[in-house]
Structure formats: structure tokens, C-alpha cells
Structure 1
Amino acid sequence: MTKQFWNVLKVSPAIAATLLASNSAIAAEVNEQQVTSVAQLTKETNSIGQVTSVSQFSDVQPTDWAFQALQSLVERYGCIAGYPNGTFRGNRALTRYEFAAGLNSCLDRVNELIATATADMVNKQDLATLQRLQEEFSAELATLRGRVDALEARTSELEANQFSTTTKLQGEAIFNVSQAFGDKKVGGGDLDSNTVFSDRVRLSLNSSFMGTDQLQTRLEAKNIGSNKDVTGTNTTRLGYDGGEDNSVTVDKLNYAFNLGEKIRVKVDATGAELNENVNVFNPDFRSSGTGALSRYGRFSPIYRQAADGAGITVNVNPDGPFTLSAAYIAQGRNVASDPSEGNGLFDGGNTIFGQLSFKPNQALNVGFAYARTYQRDSVNLFQSTGSDFANKPFGNSRTKSDNFGLQLTFQPSAKITLGGWAGYTMADALTGDTGRDADIWYWGATLGIKDFGREGNTLGLIFGQPPKVTGGSKIASESGTTYHLEGLYKMKISDNILVTPGLLVIFNPENNDNNDTVYVGTLRTTFTF
């Protein structure tokens, strides 16, 4: 609106400024000719704040033609609102609906002043002008009231039929088609494999009682078999496999809350995983449902030092580029709840974990991680990631290990993400021949290219060396080296459907140069709701 427009309508500058200060959140909502939720309207409305002095507006100068009007409205009526960034946006185009909303806002303020016996602050000329404008825009005001009434009715209906006032239901379903193929399987014999069709379904009930906390109860059912059954090596496993014949289990139960402004605490009763609780520096591939297809390609094996147990994780984010994470987890689904000897929260297998991350800017993020792990029974150092020998260098003898990891993410642009990790483990046998120890190394590199071919799609490449025993006392080193190569293409069909075809190539499985290369072709479709 221009100054000439106000002159045509014979509106005082004071009223003009009031209308320019209209509640843009409600006006925009009406202008879109649709009704949204109360939560959305409240969020948008709260983005505009009341001011007490016209000098608070960075874009309003004493030389502006409406400056005196704005100043008068602030001092006399107090019905001027601005934006959080300290601007008034006086030159912004004005719709008739916004005009009506602003008029209604000022009328409410005038009525309030009259009711509190401060009518001397309102002169007759302003009241007469407001009355004329109210009559002129009576139709728009009626439309606005109708929209608000409809919104209230819809909100009441939603509240009456909602599932819960504190809980949200989130789901994920995976349809998986895959087949492993090659000449020979590890250990000898032909690699005989069939094309399989399998699934995994997860339902999460996420409850919040204070707004900043979350109680997660996750149910899971799946029937995705391990490729090791036909290839003879865990290096061909998918990142989301596991088979319980689609029996429903409580996969996770945890509660997270803020302890102050900078500290986040998460307590896991069951299903604790380090990769779910701390940053793993592989944003494009960390998820089992929408990330890498393989088990190894999701993140560094150091984050598999604790799995499927119970414990506590603390993340501290002070001001600055550093973040500190710490965790204690009792390993095994039933270990922490078993009171017998060699089990329980502290007497059974466990992991103490710490990580310091450094993020000097938006492009670079580096993490240094350490984990001290004790495994009493069913030793599996990297949870079946890598060769069998690397996971059990001393068989099932009780084992302790010190694990060191370096991880990083580098984003040279908004569409390209480079990642990688390198890790070293020192493992010692605690039973049997206690003089045995092993040195284990692994590394990996990832590349993610967003919007490749089409907006929303991601091309991914992963290459690395899974865990390998390179030396030690009283044990043999692995002579060969396994290399993991993975290519995948995530295709976003819609906001809720992601289709990911891909191929895994495993060179020298089980760190043995005599083993033939094994391939795994996969087509994963992920539905989220």
C-alpha cells in the first residue's frame, strides 16, 4: 500500500501504521484459503513480538512518512507488533485480509483501553475513522471470524479423537529382495543361493511428558536371514538383517531427557546401541532403513562395542565446537536383568565408552572415540562385523579390549558429503592362555552425492577394510586382506517411500586371498509413516 492509497481512503497515518502491523501469521493463514492446526498457528503467531518503542525497528527511520504515526501508536495504544529480527517491514505489500486483521487487532486494543477507563487516550477522530473502516471491511472481518470458528471446531474434533495427548506413533517397514552370488563360498563348495523376499517392520511409540523428554518403546518383527548362511562369511551381511520369523518383540525401551540446557541423558532399559545414542559421523549411511545396505557400510565398528543391552549415555554440548559423549552399557539383551553370578549390570559383559567431537565449522566434523570392553561369554568383539577370527581371536575365552577410533565428516558443498573412519583394537585373553593378545585394524571411506539425477535422490559409494588381525602374541595373523566395496542409489519416490538398489562386492572374504570374490545384489524399499 502507498501513501496515496491511505489518502484516498482518508485514513490517518496512525491507522495506516496500525494496519501495517497486522498479525501476518493469521492473515497469511486466511489468505491461503485453508485451515491449519492450532499448533502451527500458535508457532507462526509467536514469531511476531510486541514493541514498546518505535526505535526498536531497525528499518524505521525518523524521515519515514509514517514515523510519527508509528510513534503515536506505540506510546498511546501499544498495538504495534514487529518481527523477531527487529524489523517492521513497512514497505511490504498488504492484502485486504491483512488489512482486516490489523483493524481487528487495533479495535481490540481500543476496547481494552476504554474498558480500563483510559478513554482519554483515544480521540474522537480516531474512533470515527475506525468505525468507518470496520463497516468498510465488515465482510472480511466476518470471513476471518468464520475461519477461526472452523479452526476451533476442527481442533476440538482432533482432540476428541486423538490417539494420545503425550504419545506419537512412528513406523517403518522394509521390503527386501536380495541374492548373494559367486563361484565358491568361504570354506569350500559351490555358492548356491536363491533370490529371497523378506521384511522388517518397526513401530515406535514416542511419548513426551515435559516437551523436551522422550520415552521410546519400539516393537519389531522381521524375517531377513543372514547371507552368511550361504556365503560362509559375515562380511556379506546386510545392515538390517535378523530373523525371528516375524515374531513381535520389544526391540527398544529407553527414556531421554535434558539435564540442564547443555546435557542430554538417555537411559536404555533394553536394546541399547552406541550408534543410536551418539554421533557416528556418517549421516547419509548410518540408518539401517535408509542408509547403507551393508552392515559394515553404516558406521565404524567401534560403535558396535556395545549392543542390545542396558545402560546410560550422556551427551554434553557446551558453547563452542566441542561435544563430549560418555556411556556405560551392559552387553546382551538379558544380562543386566539377570541377578546370577557373572551377569547383572556390572558383573557381566560391559562397555565403557567416551567420545570427543570437534566441529570448527559447518563443513568439518571430527570425532575421537575410545571404548573399553569386557566380554565374558559368547565373545564377539565387533558384533559379527569383519572376519570370524577378528571377532573371536581367542575363541570364547573371556576377553577385554581397548578400542580407539577416529571418524570424520567433510561437506565441501550442500550436496557432497565425504566421510571415513579408522580404528585400532588391542584385545587380551583373560582365560586359558592369558599371554595371548591381538592387534586388529580396520578403516573405511564413504561418498554421498545428494540430488544426483533427481532432487531428493542420493548416490552412495563405500569402500574399506573390515576388521583384520594384523599381529599379536601366541596367535597367527591373517595373511590376506578383505576389501569391502558398495554402491547404492537411494531414490526418493515420495516423502514416505525410498527405494534403494545396490551391490556389495567382497574381495578376499575372511581376510584370505584364496577365497573367491562374493557379490550381493539388493533392492530395499523403505516405507515410513
Structure 2
Amino acid sequence: MRHNWMKLMLASPAILAIEALIPLGISAMPLSEIDQQDPVPEVAAIAQDTATPEPLDILEQINLYSQADLETGPLEQVNSVRELSDVSPTDWAFQAVSALADRHQCLLGYGDGTYRGNRAMTRYEFAASLNACLIQIQQRLDEGFNVLSADELNAIRRLQEEFAAELATLRGRVDALEVRAAELEANQFSPTTKLGGEVLMAPIHAFGDRGDTTAGGEDTELSFGYRLRMVFDSSLTGSDRLRARLQAVNVARLDNTTGTVMSRLGFDGESDNEVLLERLEYRFPVTDNMRVWLGATGWDYDHIFTVTNPLFEGSGDGALSRFGRRNPAVYRQPSGAGAGFEYKFGNVARLYAAYMAGNAGTPTSKNGLFDGTYSATAQLTATPIENLEVSLAYSNSYFPGGEVNVSGSTGSGNARRPFTNDVATSSNNLGVQASFSFAPVTVSGWAGWSLAEAQGSDGDVSSGDTATLFNWALNVGVPDLVKEGSLLGFIVGQQPKVISNDVSGREDPDTSLHFEALFQYPITDRINIAPGFFVITNPDHNSDNNTIWVGTVRTQFNF
């Protein structure tokens, strides 16, 4: 659609930007001056409705005009016509659109990369586009360029008068945003640091005990625990990340009453209600395919490696049990401080490696970065097809006498200390993990082996004695079952068990199975509730012990 008064401007490159806005479907002049030979009914109706408007506030005006075409989205600056997917050189207005972007730098498109040149535009959209061109023209005038003739100035003046209300509204909104932005900048937490946090609250109860002949076995009362975490993520270069996490936690370890670490929750811990620095690490890129981590404290393998258990690995939104989160054979080895890296082979595979020490900050014998508890782990993760991930991990670990914990506080007492706690122990560990998604179900699982070796002698234990540990798990999750963000999950497995031992009497006699069920439901975008339970049969892989039931309702608050 052309307008008679615009014919005076066709020959002017400087006004080409303004002319190109007019054919999009909205009148820049009163209806009485429009050429009625080629009407656009929808646009005419909108213009007629706004000819004698009732008094409306700004929001009502914006909402009224936005109904001309639903879900158009906000207008954004377009630097080149090549960014627009629906504009081609064969379009009749291609040169005009190109000029707006290339010559005048005032072309506006939609956030999805489209221009939508065939749809009617609202008066607010026209005003926004006109304002973008006026800003560019004003900048060129301020720079001393004589770019406009008298006729062009008159045309621009008429456009400004016609759209005075819309331009004033837009400028008012920009001014308000600038005021709010200035206030945020003046009161922001930090220009380089982002603060996030999580609070967990949960009633907890355990039923059953291991038996009267072993440690523990006291009656377990209903308790209520909490965990608070505050995470500070800072970037010094724009591509790195310095993460500090503060934590206060009071979630009782159930092994203190049940007598077995098989009953531990995935989010337990005690800090006497004190807020402590629980994690400190720095991550930075070396190349486009390689990132390096430096951990000072609280650093663990799931912070750098993918543990190939996507639905259940989190302590706040994953499995309820400690065992159900990840393969303990490789991901529960000594951790705390160290260094590691990730290298990507395109989108097909990733290589991880890390070294961690449990007491790196203590400069005494059998401690420090290399003389105390440590682990060195490497993992290759592959995604051969879109919905399948597999990983193979190997870890070597060492525990001085008095600090032996081969199975990472899961499994039986024999699995934790195959040769008693007083004998220094080394361990070679292998883990195989896989996860496969086929809507709406995701199935994950793992198998883990540990070959422990005594590094000293004590009583019946001789240096060089070995013990073999084994564990496995199968997880089934159904995400978004009744609501987006919900999760129905089932976990079954065998916690670490000593299946052979050179030391007589330190093999596990029976087999314990772990059964777990949970349902996570998002009450809001920031509040999740997850009732669930898990069952331990033959605790400590001993049929003389009674079955243990653990129930909880974990509630997560994110901020």
C-alpha cells in the first residue's frame, strides 16, 4: 500500500528507511488522507479504533495494540538482512529492507530471526521502528553530515507529529527502565558475582535395625533435618568460573542408630548449625575443547565428571539415598582438593581426569597433597547416539591406616575396611555406567568393582592380601509424568559387597538388596517436594540382620 504524500520521498536514500516502514500495513497519516483504493481491513479496523480513544493508561494501550497479532514477540535490532530467515533477494521490498539494516542501521526484526513482512504491524511497532531510524538520523546530523533535504525534514516532522503519543510512550518506558537499571546497578550484589541458593527440609524416620549383636541397633526416632547452601559464582574473564559454596546442615546420619552406612541419606551431614565454606573451586578454558579445574576444598568427582545418572545424581533433586546417586566404586573415592580437566572430542566423546587429596591442607606425615588419602581417576564418556550415554571410569586410591573407607561410606562394614581400619589400603577401581532415554522413560545403571590390597600387616592381615568388592544398580525414571518438572523414580541395586578376601572371615556371607522409590513434584518453579522411601534387606549383607526401612519427605527451596 502506498501513500500519496510519500511519493515525494521516493528518490531520497536518507528517507528510504522511513518509507520502507510504511508498506508494512499501518497508516502513518490520518485515515482521511489514505489512498482508499487498496485498503487493509484488519489494519483499518485497528486504526479506526484508535482514532478517538477512551482515556487509557500506558499498559492498557500496549495491550490493546498487541492484539493485532498474537505472540509476535519484542522487536530487536538486526545488523544484516542475512539474519532474517523469511527475507530473500526475490522479495519486492528486499532492497528497502537491506538498506534499513546495512545503510541506516535501524532495521528491527523479531527475536526468532524473522521479519514477517506480510503481516500488519501495530502502531507501537511502527513507532519503535521509526524511533530507531530517527535515532540514527540524529546521530548522523550530530556528526555533521548533511543528509536531509527540506522535503525530507517535513516528512519526518509529519511522522513525528502523527506518532507523538507512541514515541512519548516508548521514551517514557525507556526512561523508566534506565531508572530501574541505575537503581539495580547501585544496589547490585556484585558486578562479577551471581548468588544462588538452596534450602532442603525433611522429616526422616528409619524402621528396623541391624540386630543386637552388632554396632548400632538403637531405636530410631522421627527427626527433622535441614540443609542450607549459598553458592557464589564469579567470572573474572567472562569464560571462567570461581565457585564458593557456603553450607549449614543438620541432617542426622542414620548409621549412628541403624548401625550401617547402607541407610545413609544422599543429603545428610552435620555442621553444628554453623555456616562453613564447604566448596571452593576454579574452572577455566584452555582451548575451545578443553577446560581445567582447580579445587581447594569440598571438591568431588561429580563436580567435574558426568556420572551418567542424569535423573538421580543430585543431592537436592535426585535419589534420596546416598547409594542411589552414583557408582561408589569410582565416584566415592577420596576427594577434597586437587586438579582435573575435561577434553571434548566434538559431540561424540569426552575425556576426564582428576587427582584429589582428602587432607591436602594438613602438612604433616600421612597427610598433605601426596602423602595422605588420595585418588586419581580417568573417565571416557561417549554419546554414540542422541539418547544414549556410556562411560568407563578407572580410579586408583590410597588410604593410610586409620582412614580406610574403600567403598565411600556405602555398602557393608567389610567393604569399607576389607583388612581392618588400622591397615593402610590401596584400591584399583573400575566403573561402567550407561543411561538411555526413550520417551517418556530414562533407564540408567552401573556396575563397579574394587580390588583392594593391604599395604601393611596386622594380626591375620599380611601385606599384599587382596579383597574384591562389587556393586551394581539399575534406575528407572519417568520425568514430567503429571506436571513438567515432576519425576517418578525407582532404584534397585546391591551396595558394595566383599565377594572374595584373602583374610579369612572378612567376606560378606549374604547379599543385601537396595530398593528405592520416590516421586518429586514441583509445587512452584522454586519449590519441589519429594516423598519417598528405600528398603535395605539383609543389612551389611548379613541375613541375621533385620530389614531397614527409611522414609522421608524432602522439600527443596531454590532462590
- TM-score, scaled to structure 2: 0.82
CA contact (8 A) 1:217 1:254 kept: yes
Paired residues for 1:476-487 under 5 Å: 476-487=506-517
- TM-score, scaled to structure 1: 0.87
The code of the aligned residue for 2:79 comes to Q
CA contact (8 A) 1:179 1:195 kept: yes
- Partner Cα distance (1:217, 1:520) in 2: 32
| Counterpart residue number, 1:24 | none
Please tell me whether Structure 1 or Structure 2 has the larger radius of gyration of its CA atoms: 2
Unaligned 5+ segments in structure 2 are 11-15, 26-58, 65-73
CA contact (8 A) 1:186 1:232 kept: no
Which of 332, 346, 367 does residue 343 from structure 1 map onto? 367
| Counterpart residue number, 2:475 | 446
| Counterpart residue number, 1:210 | 237
| Counterpart residue number, 1:36 | none
CA contact (8 A) 1:186 1:516 kept: no
- Partner Cα distance (2:233, 2:386) in 1: 30
- Partner Cα distance (2:451, 2:102) in 1: 72
What is the CA distance between 1:301 and its match in structure 2? 0.6
Determine helix, strand or coil for the equivalent of 1:143.
Answer: helix
- Partner Cα distance (1:57, 1:497) in 2: 39
CA contact (8 A) 1:451 1:458 kept: yes
CA contact (8 A) 1:220 1:249 kept: yes
- Partner Cα distance (1:168, 1:32) in 2: 34
| Counterpart residue number, 1:253 | 280
Unaligned 5+ segments in structure 1 are 22-27, 34-43
What is the CA distance between 1:87 and its match in structure 2? 4.6
| Counterpart residue number, 1:38 | none
Determine helix, strand or coil for the equivalent of 2:266.
Answer: coil
Measured against aligned partners, the alpha-carbon deviations of 1:256-282 in whole angstroms (never above 9, x if no partner) come to: 222222222221111121122211111
CA contact (8 A) 1:503 1:521 kept: yes
CA contact (8 A) 2:232 2:243 kept: yes
Counterparts in 2 of 1:204 and 1:79: CA distance versus 1, 3 Å? closer
Measured against aligned partners, the alpha-carbon deviations of 1:39-94 in whole angstroms (never above 9, x if no partner) come to: xxxxx88x74312xx67755334553423433554675454355788653312442
| Counterpart residue number, 1:468 | 497
| Counterpart residue number, 1:64 | 91
| Counterpart residue number, 1:39 | none
| Counterpart residue number, 1:408 | 434
- Partner Cα distance (1:199, 1:68) in 2: 64
Determine helix, strand or coil for the equivalent of 1:443.
Answer: strand
- Partner Cα distance (1:429, 1:183) in 2: 31
- Partner Cα distance (1:466, 1:307) in 2: 18
Paired residues for 1:211-360 under 5 Å: 211-331=238-358, 335-360=359-384
Counterparts in 2 of 1:220 and 1:111: CA distance versus 1, 3 Å? closer
Counterparts in 2 of 1:123 and 1:321: CA distance versus 1, 3 Å? farther
What is the CA distance between 1:222 and its match in structure 2? 1.7
The code of the aligned residue for 2:411 comes to G
Paired residues for 1:47-126 under 5 Å: 48-51=77-80, 58-61=85-88, 63-71=90-98, 73=100, 77-80=104-107, 87-115=114-142, 119=146, 126=152
- Partner Cα distance (1:9, 1:484) in 2: 81
Determine helix, strand or coil for the equivalent of 1:297.
Answer: helix
CA contact (8 A) 1:282 1:298 kept: yes
Which of 17, 20, 26 does residue 17 from structure 1 map onto? 20
The yes-or-no answer on 1:385 pairing with 2:390 is no
Which of 400, 422, 425 does residue 399 from structure 1 map onto? 425
Counterparts in 2 of 1:231 and 1:186: CA distance versus 1, 3 Å? farther
Counterparts in 2 of 1:341 and 1:361: CA distance versus 1, 3 Å? same
- Partner Cα distance (1:174, 1:320) in 2: 35
What is the CA distance between 1:457 and its match in structure 2? 1.6
CA contact (8 A) 1:324 1:355 kept: yes
Which of 368, 371, 375 does residue 392 from structure 2 map onto? 368
What is the CA distance between 1:117 and its match in structure 2? 5.7
Counterparts in 2 of 1:190 and 1:479: CA distance versus 1, 3 Å? closer
- Partner Cα distance (1:32, 1:389) in 2: 69
CA contact (8 A) 2:451 2:467 kept: yes
Which one is further off, 145-154 or 187-196? 187-196
Count of residue pairs brought into register by the alignment: 502
CA contact (8 A) 1:306 1:330 kept: no
- Partner Cα distance (1:509, 1:9) in 2: 89
Sequence identity percentage: 42
The code of the aligned residue for 2:382 comes to F
CA contact (8 A) 1:217 1:250 kept: yes
CA contact (8 A) 1:239 1:294 kept: yes
Which of 441, 455, 459 does residue 430 from structure 1 map onto? 455
